[in-house]
């Protein structure tokens, strides 16, 4: 009769310790690798923002100002760059209406800028864009902008009124040089020939049409008109420039 021989189990102590040692080494390697990669990414000398490409139809904005707005406020690495902060810094620049930023691998940026389009000066110290919004910038050289004045919050009203009046005056060969909208929303104009128009508050377009109709007659008069008061239901009043010449005493 054959007897079964039971073999003793091999000792597991050394294998277990070797396995635990291997696991510790693997985990330590992963932790060290993650730390090294994070430190490398944080080091701007390892991966700085190399090139900033600026696109858009730019007339007044200097591309170097866009780059300075990014590099001057965020000197960190490409991966640490805060896009929202950079976007805010760029849109704070004069002549920037809207901007967008896109990261391009490996360490470049593409900035697209929509520039402000100035439609008029506003209250002597601001500019109005074509949407009726104000922005602070130096009026461009060689460009003559109409001067608009009005109470705070009336920017779009003043700009829309200016456009309607300018369109009406085109066939008369004159332009609005200055428009004043009073606190009571009364309209006053100064044309590019120096003539001043007082339109009042109500039906100012109809009153301006009345001026357009009689303007050819004013041009034929030998006297020079100084102002035209149109705050009447049907008529108007004309103030003439003085032609008196003082004689030497």
- DSSP three-state, residue 30: helix
The residue to which tokens 């007897």 are assigned: 3
How far apart CA 90 and CA 169 sit, in angstroms, is 39
pLDDT at 139: 87
| CB-based contact 198:237 (threshold 8 Å) | no
Q: Which residues of the chain have pLDDT under 50?
A: 44, 245-249
For the stretch 137-188, pLDDT in tens is 988 888 899 999 999 999 999 999 999 999 999 989 999 999 999 999 999 9
Q: What are the structure tokens assigned to 220, written together?
A: 């034929």
Residue 150 has a pLDDT of: 97
Task: Write down the residue that tokens 């009046």 correspond to.
Answer: 165
**Per-residue pLDDT at 206:** 95
Tell me 77's DSSP state: B
- 216: β partners: none
Name the CA radius of gyration of the chain, rounded.
37
- The DSSP line for 183-235 is TT--EEEEETTS-EEEEESSSHHHHHHHHHHHHHHHHHSSS-EEEEE--SSS-
Average pLDDT score, the chain: 86
Domains, the chain, ordered by start: 51-115 (3.10.20.310), 118-240 (3.40.50.11690)
Q: For residue 248, what pLDDT is reported?
A: 43
């Amino acid at each position: 009769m054959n007897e079964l021989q039971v073999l003793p189990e091999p000792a597991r102590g050394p294998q277990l310790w070797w396995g635990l040692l291997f696991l510790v080494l693997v985990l330590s390697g992963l932790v060290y690798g993650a730390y090294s990669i994070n430190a490398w990414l944080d080091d701007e000398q390892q991966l700085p923002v190399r090139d900033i490409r600026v696109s858009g139809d730019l007339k007044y904005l200097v591309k170097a100002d866009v780059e300075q707005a990014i590099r001057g406020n965020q000197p960190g690495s490409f991966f640490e760059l805060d896009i929202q902060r950079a976007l805010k810094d760029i849109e704070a620049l004069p002549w920037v209406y809207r901007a967008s930023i896109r990261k391009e691998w490996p360490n470049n940026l593409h900035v697209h800028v929509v520039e402000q389009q100035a439609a008029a000066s506003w209250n002597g110290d601001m500019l109005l864009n074509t949407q009726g919004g104000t922005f602070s910038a130096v009026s461009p050289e060689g460009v003559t902008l109409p001067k608009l004045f009005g109470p705070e919050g009336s920017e779009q009203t003043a700009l829309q009124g200016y456009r309607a009046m300018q369109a009406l005056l085109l066939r008369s060969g004159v332009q609005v040089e200055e428009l004043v909208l009073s606190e009571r929303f009364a309209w006053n104009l100064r044309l590019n020939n120096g003539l001043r128009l007082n339109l009042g508050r109500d039906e100012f377009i109809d009153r301006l049409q009345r001026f357009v109709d009689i303007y050819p007659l004013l041009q034929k008069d030998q006297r020079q008109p100084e102002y035209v008061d149109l705050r009447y239901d049907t008529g108007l009043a004309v103030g003439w420039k003085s032609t008196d010449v003082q004689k030497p005493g």
